[in-house]
Amino acid sequence: MKKIQLAEDLQFSQIVHGHWRLAEWDLSPEELLSLMERCIEAGITTFDHADIYGNYMCEELFGQALALKPSLREDIQIVTKCGIKLISENRPHHTIKSYDTSKEHIIASAENSLKKMNTEYVDVLLIHRPDPFMDPAETAEAFHILRKEGKVRHFGVSNFTPKQMEMLQNEYNGPLVTNQIELSVLHEQPFFDGTINHLQKEKVRPMAWSPLAGGRLFKGNDEKSVRVKKALEKVARETEASSIDEVAYAWLLKHPSQIMPIVGSGKMNRIEAAVNAANLPLTREQWFYILQESMGKEVD
Amino acid sequence: MKKIQLAEDLQFSQIVHGHWRLAEWDLSPEELLSLMERCIEAGITTFDHADIYGNYMCEELFGQALALKPSLREDIQIVTKCGIKLISENRPHHTIKSYDTSKEHIIASAENSLKKMNTEYVDVLLIHRPDPFMDPAETAEAFHILRKEGKVRHFGVSNFTPKQMEMLQNEYNGPLVTNQIELSVLHEQPFFDGTINHLQKEKVRPMAWSPLAGGRLFKGNDEKSVRVKKALEKVARETEASSIDEVAYAWLLKHPSQIMPIVGSGKMNRIEAAVNAANLPLTREQWFYILQESMGKEVD
Amino acid sequence: MKKIQLAEDLQFSQIVHGHWRLAEWDLSPEELLSLMERCIEAGITTFDHADIYGNYMCEELFGQALALKPSLREDIQIVTKCGIKLISENRPHHTIKSYDTSKEHIIASAENSLKKMNTEYVDVLLIHRPDPFMDPAETAEAFHILRKEGKVRHFGVSNFTPKQMEMLQNEYNGPLVTNQIELSVLHEQPFFDGTINHLQKEKVRPMAWSPLAGGRLFKGNDEKSVRVKKALEKVARETEASSIDEVAYAWLLKHPSQIMPIVGSGKMNRIEAAVNAANLPLTREQWFYILQESMGKEVD
């Protein structure tokens, strides 16, 4: 498994295991620990969370597994996020879905994540969504405090535009180490709207959420989904890939910006498709063929 | 009244009195002077003009009032604008509505503004609209000359995109101290299209024109206006605001980018709604509730 | 003919002769040489090519003419492009229209261009289209090698957004000397979408392809074409221009960003319209009148 250098002292596995749907997998702590160990054996050492995942429950499930084998902590990298406030019976004081990137909320959210996950630090904390009410100086101050206290090693963002990143980077005195964005064969816009160009320029490595378009790739009946699925099937035959998943992952892995797809499955065989994708011999023309079917037209 | 620091040697009152419709208020010079004095007592010391306001007549009406009490000049800050050429009986040589950011036009326009307003300098001169025919080096040269001659203390822009600001800033050797943009509960796009992010990054403070959406907030029958008005009414009840104006102003004043709303009313009670808004205890959730109703959907 | 300074050691004639349709002109090498000499007499010393023009044939036709009088080489500037791969009987191994900005392809394409054109160097090599699969460090490496070997003096881009230019410029240690974009009285968007602002800021001079909108200006029946044609006719009468071509070229030449229109005609009288345009006394108001008819509305 290729390692991606996010900062001088931080490496992720290129494939990241995403715990977005962890609560739905219905695993005991022992079963989750076992799944994580199999991931690690396969080279996947980075795990992606957010405070809000599973209605604020996933971090705790992860923490219960980690508590069974605390020594695992030093072999893995943990990403979590903050900044969204959901309406939830677990947060009864929230009256509306909103964002909060105040110093107070970021620090409280991060500290709560540490407690839930049974860890003394997270490797990377992301601001989950760009907050139109952000005071970037205040947000950066929260970062400086959490870093100084050893609670968070590095910071990043998610779903940010270049301008939003620049605004926050201008106040934060360390590197923003990633921008976690939606990116897949069905969501190719970031290759054209400046998002990926900006990250390439700044040498910030993107994480890709929904790298399989959240199942739409398999079940979607819309024109684009059907067209792209056919293209992936054709390339799968040409490359002898074992599934279209593998081709969809390879399409991301092959890109020079060093994209890290987040695999959100609890099944080891689905996870392995991503791992195997790294070795798929995808040609430049095959990459453009998939892009063409995604755009619904030839390149200009 | 909070003061906003626009440059080392320049402060505005956060609420600005806008003289866009001054000609319609039908005030004698004495009455206008009296209105201005009441504004100043309420803490509003900054007055916003443009050469073209009132069909090129507003600056002169202002000048007649100021001439009654020239000592007022040192207590106030005057903003005016140039760069638009209107078809008008007062400019019979104009054959089309166009922009002009040539050195010659900017200097002539600024000098004419000084004469009309009975003042020896303006505090800030803005380029009224981004001119697709701008030569930024030439525009900056006009700024350098006007500043050196003491006719204009500082410069800024209005309705500029980030790219347009960067282009001009790159040539002008002082700070562009503001970007006066349309911004309100009915015109929330600048919070999403990079305009506000860019200003926050550069620590340039925005002025907001049409902060009440030019009356559409009160009389608009379109879906968005009706929805937002309801939201403002709800928040007015919750916060015990005396009017929805107050909530609409507070929504801008509360934002960390230090927005300066331009109040364009000639009636003191309407102006006071803006002054009072500064003390309205608007919560972050109320801010997002108004944003949600403005966007017509939850945040992502 | 005005010269445009693209780099310390590089000047173009402001009017560029474009050989996009050279294969259709059906000229013998002698006839093409004669046309080029007439261009040079008229002050047009810069010639624009691409590897793919005329189904990969135009560079060779040009080379045959140049071979008749090799001494011409030092009097002219040659631009060519690379990075697009067309499906063509001349490139039987291409299976799809795609982009390729790999080191290998750029160097091979440039070397092939030199051979075809019977020249030892080109003045400027452009990346023809922004490649969503670009590795900017690799592309820049190809530039560094070609420059070191004396095969290409300078590099630029075509159809790039500001973000795409910044990404590549960040890796290339010389100046990107131009961005060749579509720009005309029927394609005015680059004046508003940041493309021209960015070039003005960076002092990069734009080349304009399809400066007459590819004939649509003369034959177009759509509302915009009809409206703009009428406007050009009116301004032609006012300025005593000999044709609407001349006004359309003057509209570009007059702009402060120092636009270099690429004239794609094989007929000397059409080429002369562009040459004459430089002397057309177009006023600022006439410029805005044409813009207004292009946009279909007054400026704001």
Site of tokens 């990250």: A199
Q: Which chains touch B (3 or more CB pairs under 8 A)?
A: A, C
| Rg, Å, chain A Cα set | 19
The contacts of residue C89 (CB under 8 Å, 6+ apart) are: C55
Chain mean pLDDT for chain A: 97
C-beta of residue B2 within 8 angstroms of C-beta of residue B14: yes
pLDDT of residue B69: 98
pLDDT of residue C10: 98
Question: What string of pLDDT tens digits covers the 300 residues of chain B?
Answer: 999 999 999 999 999 999 999 999 999 999 999 999 999 999 999 999 999 999 999 999 999 999 999 999 999 999 999 999 999 999 999 999 999 999 999 999 999 999 999 999 999 999 999 999 999 999 999 999 999 999 999 999 999 999 999 999 999 999 999 999 999 999 999 999 999 999 999 999 999 999 999 889 999 999 999 999 999 999 999 999 999 999 999 999 999 999 999 999 999 999 999 999 999 999 999 999 999 999 999 999
Q: Which two three-digit tokens encode residue A256? A: 């020079």
Give one DSSP letter per residue of C160-193, joined into a string: --HHHHHHHHTT-SS-EEEEEEE-BTTB-GGGTS
Residue among B192, B201, B299 whose CB faces A167 most closely: B201
Residue of chain B nearest A134, judged by CA positions:
B256
The 10s digit of each residue's pLDDT in B137-171 is 999 999 999 999 999 999 999 999 999 999 999 99
Catalytic residues of A: 53
- Its sign, for the CA torsion A137, A139, A140, A144, is positive
User: What's the distance, CA B193 to chain centroid?
Assistant: 20
Cα separation, A255 vs A232, in Å, equals 16
Which helix (DSSP H) or strand (DSSP E) does residue C140 occupy?
A: helix C136-148
Residue among C98, C136, C170 whose CB faces A285 most closely: C98
Cα separation, B41 vs B76, in Å, equals 11
Q: Contact A284/C133, CB-based, under 8 Å?
A: yes
pLDDT of residue B134: 98
| Residue B37, Cβ density class (10 Å: 0-12 exposed, 13-18 middle, ≥19 buried) | middle
Pairing of strands A16-18, A46-48: parallel
Output the CA–CA distances (angstroms, integers) from residue B49 to B175, B204, B215, in the order listed.
20, 20, 20
Q: Contact B132/C201, CB-based, under 8 Å?
A: no
Interface of C with A (CB under 8 A): 84, 94-100, 102, 129, 132-136, 138, 159, 161, 163-164, 166-167, 170
Cα separation, A266 vs B60, in Å, equals 73
Pairing of strands A3-7, A10-13: antiparallel
User: For A138-160, what is the mean pLDDT?
Assistant: 98
The 10s digit of each residue's pLDDT in A71-99 is 999 999 999 999 999 999 999 999 999 99
Q: Contact C197/B161, CB-based, under 8 Å?
A: yes
Cα separation, C59 vs C78, in Å, equals 10
Residue among C97, C134, C135 whose CB faces A298 most closely: C97
Give contacts of A285 with chain C, Cβ < 8 Å: 94-96, 98
Q: Is the pLDDT of residue A133 over 90?
A: yes
The contacts of residue A173 (CB under 8 Å, 6+ apart) are: A140, A144
Output the CA–CA distances (angstroms, integers) from residue B202 to B16, B135, B251, C126, in the order listed.
22, 22, 22, 33
C-beta of residue B120 within 8 angstroms of C-beta of residue B150: yes
C-beta of residue B247 within 8 angstroms of C-beta of residue B232: yes
Q: Is the pLDDT of residue A215 over 90?
A: no
Catalytic residues of B: 53
pLDDT of residue C215: 85
Bridge partners, residue A157, by sequence: A127, A179
Site of tokens 């915009």: C224
Q: Contact C132/A289, CB-based, under 8 Å?
A: no
| Residue B278, Cβ density class (10 Å: 0-12 exposed, 13-18 middle, ≥19 buried) | middle
Pairing of strands A205-209, A176-182: parallel
**Which of the four pLDDT bands, split at 50, 70 and 90, describes residue C273?**
very high
Residue among C95, C138, C159 whose CB faces A285 most closely: C95
* CA neighbor of C241 nearest in space, from C187, C290, C282, C289: C282
Site of tokens 């805005």: C288
pLDDT of residue A244: 97
C-beta of residue B85 within 8 angstroms of C-beta of residue B79: no
Distance, in angstroms, between C198 CA and closest chain B CA? 6
CA dihedral B27, B31, B33, B35 (to 10 degrees): -90
C-beta of residue B117 within 8 angstroms of C-beta of residue B80: yes
The single-letter DSSP state of residue C261 is: E
Cα separation, A82 vs B93, in Å, equals 59
User: What's the distance, CA A180 to chain centroid?
Assistant: 5
The contacts of residue B82 (CB under 8 Å, 6+ apart) are: B50, B51, B105, B106, B109, B110, B113, B125, B126, B127, B128
The 10s digit of each residue's pLDDT in C165-191 is 999 999 999 999 999 999 999 999 999
Q: Contact B98/C192, CB-based, under 8 Å?
A: no
The contacts of residue A32 (CB under 8 Å, 6+ apart) are: A22, A25, A61, A62, A64, A65
**Which of the four pLDDT bands, split at 50, 70 and 90, describes residue C295?**
very high
Helix (H, G, I), strand (E, B) or coil at B216: helix
Residue of chain A nearest C138, judged by CA positions:
A256
Which backbone phi and psi does A180 adopt, to 5 degrees? -90, 115
Q: C66: number of CA atoms within 13 Å, CB side?
A: 21
- Its sign, for the CA torsion A23, A29, A35, A37, is positive
Helix segments in B149-222, DSSP class H: 162-169, 195-202, 216-219
The contacts of residue A159 (CB under 8 Å, 6+ apart) are: A128, A129, A130, A179, A180, A181, A182, B300
pLDDT > 70 in chain A, percent: 100
Helix (H, G, I), strand (E, B) or coil at A99: strand
If one counts every other C-beta atom within 10 angstroms of the C-beta of residue A230, the result is 12
Cα separation, C83 vs C100, in Å, equals 5
pLDDT of residue B215: 85
**Which of the four pLDDT bands, split at 50, 70 and 90, describes residue C203?**
very high
Pairing of strands A98-99, A84-85: antiparallel
Bridge partners, residue A126, by sequence: A81, A156
C-beta of residue A286 within 8 angstroms of C-beta of residue A235: yes
C-beta of residue A14 within 8 angstroms of C-beta of residue A24: no
Chain mean pLDDT for chain C: 97
The contacts of residue B241 (CB under 8 Å, 6+ apart) are: B235, B247, B250, B276, B277, B280
Give contacts of A102 with chain B, Cβ < 8 Å: 284
Q: Contact B98/C299, CB-based, under 8 Å?
A: yes
| Residue A27, Cβ density class (10 Å: 0-12 exposed, 13-18 middle, ≥19 buried) | middle
Bridge partners, residue C10, by sequence: C7
Residue among C98, C136, C138 whose CB faces A284 most closely: C98
ipTM of the complex model: 0.96
The contacts of residue C290 (CB under 8 Å, 6+ apart) are: C185, C228, C231, C232, C235, C247, C251
Distance, in angstroms, between C34 CA and closest chain B CA? 37
Give contacts of A138 with chain B, Cβ < 8 Å: 256
Helix (H, G, I), strand (E, B) or coil at C85: strand
pLDDT of residue A154: 98
Q: Is the pLDDT of residue A142 over 90?
A: yes
